[in-house]
Structure 1
Amino acid sequence: MAERLSARAAIGLLTDAFEDHAPPDRACAPDGPLAWEGYDASRARAAERTGEAESVVYGTARVGDRSCAVLAFEFGFLGGSLGERAGDRLEAAYRLAREERVPLLSLVATGGSRMQEGMVALTQLQRVARESVLLREAGLPHLTVLRDPATGGGWATVGAGADVILALPGAQVGFAGSRVRPADADPAAYTAEGQLAAGHVDAVVRPEELRGTVTRWVTALTSPAAQAPPPAALSSGPLPASGWDAVRQARDPGRPRAEAYLNAYFTDRLPLAGDRCGGTDPGMLCGIGLRADGRAVAYVAQCGTATRPAGYRTAARVIRLADRLGVPVLTLVDTPGAANDAEAERAGAGAAIADAFTAVAAARVPVTTLLIGEGGSGGALALAAPDNTWATRDSYFSVIAPELAAAILKRPPQDAPHTAEQLRLRPQDLVELGVVRGIV
């Protein structure tokens, strides 16, 4: 279990310059909207114990050299629960971010909605959802840090609704709190680490590293580059003489891979992990990186493996986030094709590939693609920018792998090299066909 920090101690992990914006709280009927006996007394004890008038603190802060709106839950105040007054403060925090045109940072530690206010408390989630929509429409980022615990409606709206989700080690994270889970539930599923493995959290960050990590994220989310030029080639061999030469060069285990291209292109990288649907794909690297000029470019990079549905969904999520924030996108294509095993089909391979195609097609920001290895069929094309795709010398793009094409045409396996030649899949062929703009 993570250390349970107060709201102001949690804010202190990020910044030393916080200005409280606590509003005058609305008047409430005795013991709240349900006339719950003893509710006023419970609130008074919570206020005396924590020094806070409600379960949410909010205001403005400097994080690094950027202004931000900050909200933090005070778990010591009735379990950080959401009631009508807490909803007022959450709404005000989101509105403050919009009015100031700054990122929103939320520090979530809550057990859920406040029972003493019944359905009135639960409807605060609808208010938060509406504010989240307005923040997204305004093109402003929301970064959250999940503390212990981050459960119930606070997790399912403020936390899970953020663009970037960080968590403290050992924090309880899940819709079901510890007292309402099934008796036989796997406790690991309700931890920050479990949610990271399931694709619902982007990173687990130690408290001593939180300020630096959040500062880097705020800088990246608010420093968009104008465009994403294609990376320079990391290999300098000759152009392939034949189609089969192109295939062999692209499949060479020694050629440069996505990690090398990303390391050369960026001075700092901040990963975004998981598809938010319960899946991850280690063969797809996604995130936002800072270049040497301090400007941000989002990246989506295949690592040479068959891309799984979770990889395409993660890519689509990142491209849409970048588009909303005005950050250009770089995609690196390198896959023999989309995963086509039974598990991939059950996980929605077709829908996930369609989602990636749609995200690229709908993007209003510049999208640049570099083909760095294998370009296997629609699983590769899904991440390729129309009219702005480039290729390296050790790459190929094909409607289908030569071996599979030969099999479909009922040719013997030894005819694969001849079939590769017919497919015109070499980089120079792709330039002639107008599939790629040029060879880097």
Structure 2
Amino acid sequence: MGERPNAREAIAAVADEGAFTQLPAPEGVSAPDGPLGWQGYDASRARAEDRTGETESVVCGVARIGSAEAVLISFEFGFLGGSLGERTGDLLEAAYAHARERGLPVVSLIATGGSRMQEGMRALLQLQRVARQSALTRAAGLPQLAVVRDPTTGGGWATLGAGADVILALPGAQIGFAGSRVRPADADPYAYMAEAQLAAGHIDAVVSRDELRATVGHWLTLLTGGVPDAVPSVAPPPEGLGRAGLPATGWEAVLQARVPQRPRAAAYLDAYFTHREAINGDRCGGTDPGMLCGFGRREGRTIAYAAQCGTATLPAGYRTAARLVRLAGRLGIPVLTLVDTPGAANDAEAERAGAGSAIADLFAAMATASVPVTTLLIGEGGSGGALALSAPDNTWATPDSYFSVIAPELAAAILKRAPEEARVTADQLRLRPQDLVSLGVVRGIVPGRGTGPGEA
């Protein structure tokens, strides 16, 4: 990691130059040597003040970051290891209250070793205090973004860090509930690094210091682009990028949806948004590269997206999509989903990872979404694994797509038909886009703009 930046340097790396105003510290008098009367505690605090120039382990204020204003919380690790004590709790509570009064997002630049031992349980209780402030801010529809610096461990990670809506981390940052001095001797050190936390779906991105200001600025623009406590306008379905002609038979619909060269989710998202940022992982230890989730800008407003990429969707993918839908709902941001999967992953590992509960959770999130959801079927619509990501009453289809209760090959097998009868079964399932319209499954077919087999 190299030299560890202090709180002011961390602020300078994110905030626009000269655009940070520190909030006044709440008044209060600490007992000599703290609530426990820990001998030498006052002297340790005095040395920390002399060394850092700060009076506590956090610096809180209001900053401008790009086009957005935000309450900024920056930890000073040089002040008793960035630990949380009662005065830290006072400062954090005041910062969160100011954010709610002004309707501002909260950005936390975290570097902490956890709760302050010299204040014992009174220090540990600050985690409940911080968690409450975070929950109140979440209920107010205000976004919270964390930038995890090195190190971020203990309660600071388990509240301000892991509790944020979007979590960014600096390369190589040490992240974990257990600090380096209290872990099992045989613990894998890589598991506590930013890159490992990203792979496990616990953070959204690892961002270099050079890119941090721009990335945080982009995120704030996206997350503050909604209309909390109001119903935002519906996201329009994207234009079709693939084949223009409708399939003549059910089997033809299946084949053209399975063409490897067919436009996939990434192409649709690139064409739909001018800029987008991704969220990563289900926060339960899983990721699914076949489910793209995040927020993007289109015609000056923010739209959230969850998009399948043509692979069997993993439980982590469904949980990530559910997280995205609920976050968009809190922030008043409409949602676009793109359906393209042969179905949910059904191997033993998927079952162990809770496929059923993950799909159920996404069904529930979609059914109770407080913002409009638009769905475009862009390829395969395989059974409940695809339906879970589909908006009730606002799903559209492209000409090179199909939606079926089950894949025709599997339907033929269940019906004890010969494999070659899958073609006939596909017709019987009425899975073509035009069939879906007549059945009331989709609202309409968006026109394609390409050519496929058999078209001039």
TM bin (shorter chain) = over 0.9
Deviations for 1:185-207, whole angstroms, at most 9, x for unmatched residues? 11111011110000001000000
**In structure 2, distance between residues paired with 1:261 and 1:8:** 41
CA displacement at 1:105 relative to structure 2: 0.5
**2:166 is matched by which residue type in structure 1?**
V
1:183 aligned residue (180, 185, 197): 185
Deviations for 1:17-55, whole angstroms, at most 9, x for unmatched residues? 100013144211110000001000000000010000000
CA displacement at 1:182 relative to structure 2: 0.8
Tell me the matched-pair count. Answer: 439
**In structure 1, distance between residues paired with 2:412 and 2:26:** 74
For the 8 Å contact 2:293–2:306, the answer to whether it is kept is yes
Residues 1:420 and 2:426 are matched in the alignment: yes
CA displacement at 1:2 relative to structure 2: 5.4
Question: Pairwise mapping of residues 323-338 of structure 1 onto structure 2 (< 5 A)?
Answer: 323-338=329-344
**In structure 2, distance between residues paired with 1:266 and 1:51:** 45
Residue number in structure 2 paired with 1:8: 8
Residues 1:45 and 2:43 are matched in the alignment: no
**In structure 1, distance between residues paired with 2:262 and 2:69:** 43
Cα RMSD after superposing both structures = 0.9
**In structure 1, distance between residues paired with 2:101 and 2:441:** 44
**In structure 1, distance between residues paired with 2:208 and 2:138:** 28
Residue number in structure 2 paired with 1:54: 56
1:30 aligned residue (29, 32, 49): 32
Tell which deviates more after alignment, 227-236 or 255-264.
Answer: 227-236
- Please give the secondary structure, in 1, of the residue aligned with 2:216: helix
Residue number in structure 2 paired with 1:232: 239
**In structure 2, distance between residues paired with 1:280 and 1:394:** 28
CA displacement at 1:227 relative to structure 2: 2.5
**2:28 is matched by which residue type in structure 1?**
R
Residue number in structure 2 paired with 1:120: 122
Tell which deviates more after alignment, 280-289 or 220-229.
Answer: 220-229
CA displacement at 1:65 relative to structure 2: 2.2
**In structure 1, distance between residues paired with 2:58 and 2:72:** 10
For the 8 Å contact 1:286–1:299, the answer to whether it is kept is yes
Identity of aligned residues (%): 73
**In structure 2, distance between residues paired with 1:422 and 1:251:** 19
Residue number in structure 2 paired with 1:246: 253
**In structure 2, distance between residues paired with 1:24 and 1:350:** 49
Residues 1:108 and 2:110 are matched in the alignment: yes
TM value normalised by structure 1: 0.99
1:266 aligned residue (262, 273, 276): 273
Tell which deviates more after alignment, 308-317 or 221-230.
Answer: 221-230
CA displacement at 1:294 relative to structure 2: 2.1
Residues 1:347 and 2:353 are matched in the alignment: yes
Runs of 4 or more above 2 Å deviation:
224-227
**1:368 is matched by which residue type in structure 2?**
T
For the 8 Å contact 1:196–1:202, the answer to whether it is kept is yes
- Please give the secondary structure, in 2, of the residue aligned with 1:26: coil
Residue number in structure 1 paired with 2:394: 388
**In structure 2, distance between residues paired with 1:62 and 1:154:** 24
CA displacement at 1:237 relative to structure 2: 3.0
For the 8 Å contact 2:105–2:142, the answer to whether it is kept is yes
**1:382 is matched by which residue type in structure 2?**
A
For the 8 Å contact 1:80–1:112, the answer to whether it is kept is yes
CA displacement at 1:94 relative to structure 2: 1.0
Residue number in structure 1 paired with 2:263: 256
**2:162 is matched by which residue type in structure 1?**
A
Residue number in structure 1 paired with 2:200: 198
For the 8 Å contact 2:82–2:114, the answer to whether it is kept is yes
- Please give the secondary structure, in 1, of the residue aligned with 2:60: strand
Deviations for 1:185-243, whole angstroms, at most 9, x for unmatched residues? 11111011110000001000000100000000111111137321000000233100000
**In structure 1, distance between residues paired with 2:54 and 2:345:** 52
Tell which deviates more after alignment, 11-20 or 223-232.
Answer: 223-232
- Please give the secondary structure, in 1, of the residue aligned with 2:378: strand
1:302 aligned residue (308, 316, 331): 308
**2:326 is matched by which residue type in structure 1?**
R
Residue number in structure 1 paired with 2:297: 290
**In structure 1, distance between residues paired with 2:317 and 2:282:** 7
**In structure 1, distance between residues paired with 2:187 and 2:335:** 40
**In structure 2, distance between residues paired with 1:44 and 1:24:** 19
Q: Which 5+ residue runs of structure 2 have no aligned equivalent?
A: 227-231, 447-456
Deviations for 1:383-438, whole angstroms, at most 9, x for unmatched residues? 00000000000000000000000000010101101011110000000000000000
1:379 aligned residue (376, 380, 385): 385
Residues 1:356 and 2:359 are matched in the alignment: no
TM value normalised by structure 2: 0.95
Q: Which 5+ residue runs of structure 1 have no aligned equivalent?
A: none
- Please give the secondary structure, in 1, of the residue aligned with 2:61: strand
1:401 aligned residue (400, 407, 419): 407
For the 8 Å contact 1:230–1:390, the answer to whether it is kept is yes
CA displacement at 1:359 relative to structure 2: 0.8
**2:432 is matched by which residue type in structure 1?**
R
1:430 aligned residue (436, 439, 444): 436
